[in-house]
Structure 1
C-alpha cells in the first residue's frame, strides 16, 4: 500500500511502544492491538488490513485509513558468484542507498545503511567522499530489512545476522538506528537476536556513551584502524575531536554485559598502519579491554590512494595477536565482482557523477571497495 493521504502514518516508523501509545491516545484503542498489528506485518508479512482476520471489520477500516506502508521493493539486485547479493533501494526524495546480503559458510548476514552518504570522511571509505545528504528515517531503515526478507524467499535463505555497516555512521543517526533496533529485536517484530546484531561506529564518543545507557542489547564494533593519533587523524578526521585515548576510555566505562566483547575493526593499509611498531602497540593500547580484533586487508581497487597489505603481513599480525591471547580474525571480502564491499558504498547516478565532475571510470574503480569491511563484523 503506497497510496497515501496527509493524514496517514507510515507504519514502519513506529516502534511497538510508540504504536501502543498512538493507538491508545489517538485512536482510543486498547494497547494490545499494537502487538497484533506488529505480528501481522512483521511476522506474517500482511500489509492489507483486510487480511488481518482477528480484527473486526470496523477496526480494519480504521487502520486502513490511518496507516500506510512503504514500497519495499528493490530497484535492482546484483548477485556475486560467491552468493553475496547487493540491493539498491530508492528512498524518499529519490535518494538511493545500498544493502548487502552476505553469503557465509553457515549463515547469511545483512548489512544495512543508516544514512545517505556520510559526514565523517574516513579517507579509505568511498561513502565518505559523498558527504552527508541526510539521515534515513526509521521506516527507511526498516524498509531494507523487509525488502531483503521478501526477496530471500527466491533464494531459500534468510538473514540471521545483521551489521549496521552500510552507508553512513549509525550513531550519527542515533534516533533512526535505535528505533529500528527496537523493531527488529522485538518479539512481536522481526524477532532478531541482539547477540547477532552489530552496530559499528568510527568512535563518536558521546553517542557511544549514550548508546551504552540505552538498554539496547546488541554488539558494538569500533573502527580503530591506527595505533597513534597522528596516523588515525590522517585517515579518520573524527580522531581530531575524539582521540584514541578518549575513545578507549569511553569503552572502558561502557556497561558491557558479562562475557561480551567489543569488536575492534582494523583496516590494514600497507606501510601506513601495518608496521611492526603498530603491531607492538595495538595490544598495549587495548590492554584490559574485552575485545576481539578483526583484521581487514584493504582493497586498493577502491582507487583512494592506499594500498593492500602483503598477505604475509596480515598473517603475521594475526599470529602475533593470537600469541598474546587476543582473539583475532582475518576477514577477506565477499562479492567483489558486484562491487558490494564495505567502504565502497556509493550510489551516485550517472547524472550525479557528471554533475560532480567525477569520472565514471573512477567511480567504477572506487566502488570495488564496498565489501571489504562488511563481513568483518558478522
Structure 2
C-alpha cells in the first residue's frame, strides 16, 4: 500500500469534492482508517483501504511526564524507531517532531547524536507523528498550532521530505497552520539555509549555535569542522534578508566549555545588526554524556550579560526530563518508571 500522507490535498484520490472530503477527514478530523470516512461511498472507502494507508507506524507508545508533556515512541513499518514530544500550554498545543531515525550531527551534549544516523523520515512519516499524537490526545490535528522540527535528526539534511511535509502543514486544506508557528532547527548547514530562504515558505529558523567561536564549537559539534561560524552566520543573514523572519539562536550551556563571560560578549558582537533572539538551554543529562551542564547561577549570569549588551534573551527551562523527552534527551529509551503503553498496533498495514 502507498502512503496517502505523501500527497498534497489537491493530489488526493478522487474528484475535487471527494478530495476535499478525504483531506478534511485526514487533517481536520484526524481519521486513521478509511472506514471512518462515513460520508464517502462504501465502495470508495474499500478501494482506498486496498491501495492506500494512513498510519506510518506499526506501534505507538506514549509516556506522560509529570509536567503534562508526553513523549511518543514510534515504531515505523520497517521496525526502526523515532520519537516526538507533545507539549500543551495554556494558550497553545505544541509538538516537537523528528525528521530522521537518529542523527548524523553527533553533538556531544545530545543523546540522539550518540545513536548515529539510521535513515531519513519520509514526508508521510513526519506528518503521521502529528496525526498519531492528536488521535491519542483526543483532539483534531488542527488544534496543534505550533510545530518545532527539533526532535531527532538534522532537518536540513532531509530537506526535500521536510519541505514536502511543511507544505501540507501550511496548506489551507491540510493542517492550515501559520508559517510563523512552524520552526525548523538546524545545527548549521549553510547550503540548506540558502535553499530554505529561496523556498520562501515563511517558517521560522532556529540555529543551534552553542558557541560563538570555532575552537569551542569544534569540541562539541562535529559538523563545525566543515562549517565555520562566519560561514553559517552569512547564510543566516541571507535568510533574514530574504524572509524578514527573526532568527532564534539556540545555545546549550555546558560547564567550563561555552559559558564564559567572554563568550557571551563575543556572541553579542556576532549578532549585532541581526534581528535575533537567543534561547539559552540548560543541559539535560543523559546516561554516558561526556559533558556537564552549567549550574543555574551560571545560566542566569550568562543571560544577564547578553541582556546587558542588548541581546533579546530567554531561558528554555526544560519539560519532560523525567521521561527523557527534554531537549537533547531523545534516545529511543523507555522510561523505567512508567509502564508500556501501546496505542496503535499494526495500523495501516
Calculate the TM-score normalised by the size of structure 1: 0.81
Match of 1:45 among 30, 35, 38: 30
Change (3 A) 1:160 1:50: closer
Quote the Cα distance in structure 2 between the aligned partners of 1:71 and 1:260.
Answer: 33
- How many Å apart are 1:75 and its aligned residue? 2.9
Equivalent pair of 2:190/2:232 in contact (CA under 8 Å): yes
The equivalences for 1:143-158 within 5 A come to 143-153=128-138, 158=143
Quote the Cα distance in structure 2 between the aligned partners of 1:256 and 1:153.
Answer: 41
Name the structure 1 match of 2:178. Answer: 193
- Structure 1 unaligned spans of 5+: 1-7, 24-28, 350-362, 365-378
Change (3 A) 1:48 1:300: closer
Deviation larger for 69-78 or 318-327: 69-78
- Alignment size in residue pairs: 334
Q: What secondary structure does 1:75 align onto?
A: strand
Alignment pair present for 1:227 and 2:207: no
- How many Å apart are 1:90 and its aligned residue? 0.8
Structure with the greater relative contact order (CA < 8 A, sep ≥ 6): 1 or 2? Answer: 2
Q: What secondary structure does 1:81 align onto?
A: coil
Quote the Cα distance in structure 2 between the aligned partners of 1:172 and 1:330.
Answer: 27
Match of 2:232 among 239, 242, 247: 247
Change (3 A) 1:71 1:136: closer
- Structure 2 unaligned spans of 5+: 337-349
Name the structure 2 match of 1:4. Answer: none
What do residues 210-262 of structure 1 show as CA deviations (whole Å, max 9, x unaligned)? Answer: 11111222111000000110110111111111110000001111255666310
Equivalent pair of 1:49/1:60 in contact (CA under 8 Å): yes
Change (3 A) 1:81 1:154: farther
Equivalent pair of 1:136/1:176 in contact (CA under 8 Å): yes
- How many Å apart are 1:264 and its aligned residue? 0.2
Quote the Cα distance in structure 1 between the aligned partners of 2:60 and 2:41.
Answer: 36
Match of 2:329 among 338, 341, 344: 344
Name the structure 2 match of 1:355. Answer: none
Alignment pair present for 1:98 and 2:90: no
Change (3 A) 1:338 1:158: farther
Change (3 A) 1:105 1:271: farther
Change (3 A) 1:307 1:52: same
- How many Å apart are 1:169 and its aligned residue? 0.7
Quote the Cα distance in structure 2 between the aligned partners of 1:303 and 1:158.
Answer: 37
- How many Å apart are 1:153 and its aligned residue? 1.6
CA RMSD of aligned residues (A): 2.5
Quote the Cα distance in structure 2 between the aligned partners of 1:102 and 1:38.
Answer: 25
The equivalences for 1:50-61 within 5 A come to 51-53=37-39, 55=40, 59-60=44-45
Equivalent pair of 1:101/1:159 in contact (CA under 8 Å): no
Alignment pair present for 1:10 and 2:14: no
Quote the Cα distance in structure 2 between the aligned partners of 1:302 and 1:197.
Answer: 31
Equivalent pair of 2:286/2:329 in contact (CA under 8 Å): no
Normalized per residue, the structure richer in strand is 2
Alignment pair present for 1:320 and 2:305: yes
